[in-house]
Amino acid sequence: MDMVQGGRVKDLKDFRWEPLFDTLTITAGALVAVTNMYFSVPISGSKTKIDTNMTNAGVLPNPQVFRCFGIRAEAQCLHATDWSVMASYLKKSWIRFFVGTKDYLTVPLSQIAGKMYVILNGSKNDGTAPRAFSSFGAPSVSGYKFPKNGFVDILALENFGVEWTSTVTDTLAANLKVRVYLDGFRGVDVR
């Protein structure tokens, strides 16, 4: 039996722990109730490797696969006056995680432990150093873990994403960055 095809070992994957992540920037100004889609814009002119590790929009490139064990989120506020707006935005949000046409998780954001921090303007008294705060669960890397089977598989070229819906209407003084992580193992072909 020929185990090598095109310089690759057939059907054998090298799995490494590497979360998929994507960041959206909520622009300063009027904040309206909206649904944002994560993992739909890959590294491009508008997104860098610091914003996302997606190379394709909404799918993993062939022949990669991903075994997702959980999901977590974080938010970064760049202006002190936006702290209460950010807290309200996150508390009045829910997420939906789907793969293909199947929903695997639809919960209020409060079900996902995460972290929030605000970067105040200035030095010790005016706050240039980030300060950690928690308002929707204890700051944690663990986040939400899938029960039952304990994981969700995402196959190569299979559509997936996270919808984040918020019902808050308010005003932001500065941009708000919100990042979503899918924790798990990325599988790539063994060469």
11 located within any domain: no
5 located within any domain: no
DSSP 132-177: EE-SSS---S--EE--TTS-EEE-TT--EEEEEEE---EEESS-EE
Residue bearing tokens 């997420």: 95
Count of the separate structural domains present in the chain: 1
pTM given for the model? 0.80
Percent of the chain having pLDDT more than 90?
35
Domain interval for residue 46: 23-189
52 located within any domain: yes
165 located within any domain: yes
pLDDT tens per residue across span 122-164: 334 444 444 444 444 444 556 788 887 789 999 999 999 999 9
- Nearby residues of 10 by Cβ (< 8 Å), 6 or more positions away: 2, 3, 4
CB of 133 within 8 A of CB of 107?
A: no
56 located within any domain: yes
pLDDT over 70 at 6, yes or no = no
159 located within any domain: yes
pLDDT tens per residue across span 108-122: 887 775 655 444 443
